[in-house]
Amino acid sequence: MATLVRPEATTVALAPRSFPVPTDRAWGRPRGARHAIGHVERTPQFTIDVRDQAPDMFVDLAATDWSKLTWKGVGKPYKTEKWSRARRDYESLHNAPLPVIEGWRLFNTAFHQFFLTDVPDAQVQARAQLTHALSHFDAHEAQEAMEDIVRLAVWNKIMRVEDAVWDPRGKRALFAGLDVKSPRILFLGAADGYEAMQLAAMYPGGEIVLVDYDAFCETDRFGKFPLNYPFLGVDASTGHKRVWYRDEMPISFEVADIRDLKYGKEFDVVVSIGLLEHFPDAHKAECVEMHRKFLKPGGYVVMTTPRNQFKTRIYYNIMADFMNHGYRELMDAMQMSLYCYENGLDILRAGVIKAHNGLIMKAR
Ligand SMILES: C[S@@+](CC[C@H](N)C(=O)[O-])C[C@H]1O[C@@H](n2cnc3c(N)ncnc32)[C@H](O)[C@@H]1O
């Protein structure tokens, strides 16, 4: 059996899978104590980085004159159209498109599996599986093992070596300088809720509302997000730096379609991470409007999208069976800015971090 579980959508009920959570997770937090500021550690699943230092990668684009951007000048995004086997199987079985929400269920269960994987251990297993397959002349097993070896190498690099998925120092650089006190933060398409927790650590005392229509995100992606992962932020009473953990933040999770939310203009910050690029052009205005709709006057929209860079295109190609169940564009910061600017958002801060473009905006 392959080391990584392949997503399958060949039955009508696309029940989310549960993966066992490794029991030996030691994230370097001494019992009852806090990670020291400056702590860096590579665990078998991810990297902990509470260095109070500039990020490895942050290109500040805030000096751009956004009103001068045109589609002729910036060009259109790249589309990742190498579809997953699960999507192809579903569509040939049902002779109908895979419903968008089912695509997200497949995405979240498959992606979550990687977050839980003890990568060095899985790499040993995949290599042993390859040796076993070769010794039995089992071509199918050998191919699966080779695919696992490649995918695990890619995941190891982006998640553990480069820390490009969570990228805490890059995100802190992007989120810096918001004029908010005890903000209410709304996260649209929250998945694991990571960026809202980073924002709440930097601007404490408020509350977080996570919204995702995939219930697996409530139970697993956020529900099993490590309690001991440290977020570097501040202590509101002293203004000194301090480390926060998710169980110290008031967080609620609403399983709902973001198009059906009933909130008023009551949030200081509305955030989405990797949402805009899943809306084709005909629906971009609707996506931007969902961010503006729930903002208090003067509130901030925080948005990031994956970058159109060579290694990101390779990543979505190699990971297609796990990640590519639905529409996705890879764009650059100028294209992302133009989508937001032409749909009524003013750009205050713009940057490029390891894997994403990021914008901090206000409603015009
Ligand atoms: C690409 S993920 C966001 C990236 C995220 N940071 C991660 O780690 O996967 C987008 C999330 O938005 C959710 N989503 C997409 N459309 C939605 C909608 N209309 N209502 C609620 N959630 C939605 C999906 O279920 C998914 O969890």
Question: How far is the C-alpha of 221 from the C-alpha of 196, rounded, in Å?
Answer: 14
Residue 355 identity: A
Is residue 217 in contact with ligand 1, taking CB distance under 6 Å? yes
Strands annotated E in 275-355: 295-306, 329-330, 345-352
Residues 6+ apart with CB under 8 A from 270: 185, 186, 188, 291, 292, 294, 295, 299, 300, 301, 302
Q: What is the pLDDT of residue 155?
A: 97
Residue nearest to atom 14 of ligand 1 (CA): 189
Check if the beta carbon of residue 315 is closer than 8 Å to that of residue 154: yes
Name which residue sits closest to atom 4 of ligand 1, judged by CA: 274
> How crowded is the C-beta side of 180, counted as CA atoms within 13 Å?
29
Phi, psi (5° rounding) for residue 361? Answer: -140, 165
The answer to whether 357 touches 304, Cβ cutoff 8 Å, is yes
> 16 in helix, strand or coil?
coil
The rounded distance, in Å, linking the Cα atoms of 218 and 113 is: 15
- Rounded to the nearest angstrom, the distance between the alpha carbon of 112 and the centre of ligand 1 is 13
Mutate to test the pocket of ligand 1, among 258, 279, 331 (most ligand atoms within 8 A of CB): 258
| CA 351 to centroid of ligand 1, rounded, Å | 22
Our answer on whether the CB atom of 213 is closer than 6 Å to any ligand 1 atom is yes
Per-domain residue ranges for the chain?
Answer: 47-77+163-363, 83-161
Structure tokens at 120: 């060095």
287 lines ligand 1 (CB under 6 A): no
Res 16: pLDDT = 47
The Å distance, Cα 317 to ligand 1 centre, comes to 20
Q: Which residues of 16-35 are buried (b: 16+ CB within 10 A; e: fewer)?
A: bbebeeeeeeeeebeeeeeb
Q: Is the CB of 327 under 6 A from ligand 1?
A: no
Q: What value, to the nearest 5°, has the Cα angle with vertex 104 and ends 281 and 166? A: 90
Q: Is the CB of 130 under 6 A from ligand 1?
A: no
Task: State in Å: Cα 83 to ligand 1 middle.
Answer: 18
Query: If you write DSSP's letter for every residue of 345-358 in order, what string do you get?
Result: EEEEEEEE-SSEEE
Residue showing tokens 């999770």: 253
pLDDT of residue 243: 96
* 326 Cα–ligand 1 center, Å: 11
> Measuring CA to CA, which residue among 273, 223, 227 is closest to residue 34?
227
The response to whether residue 136 sits with its C-beta less than 6 Å from ligand 1 reads no
* CA diameter of the chain: 67
274 CB within 6 A, ligand 1: yes
Instruction: State the Cα–Cα distance between residues 216 and 212, nearest whole angstrom.
Output: 9
Query: In whole angstroms, how large is the CA radius of gyration of the chain?
Result: 21
Locate the ligand 1 atom nearest the alpha carbon of residue 258 and give its number. 20
What's the gap in Å between 276 CA and the centre of ligand 1? 10
Q: For domain 47-77+163-363, is the CATH number 3.40.50.150?
A: yes
Question: What pairs with residue 184 in β-bridges?
Answer: 207
- Ligand 1 atom closest to 275 (CA): 10
pLDDT of residue 18: 52
Q: Please indicate whether residue 167, judged by its CB atom, sits closer than 6 Å to ligand 1.
A: no
The alpha carbon of 187 and the centre of ligand 1 are apart by a number of angstroms equal to 10
Q: What is the DSSP letter of 220?
A: I
SS3 268: strand
pLDDT along the chain (364 residues), means of 10: 76 48 50 87 96 97 96 98 95 95 95 95 96 96 96 97 98 98 98 98 98 96 94 96 96 98 97 98 98 97 98 97 97 98 97 98 97
Supply 78's token pair.
């790249």
Is 258 a pocket residue for ligand 1 (Cβ < 6 Å)? yes
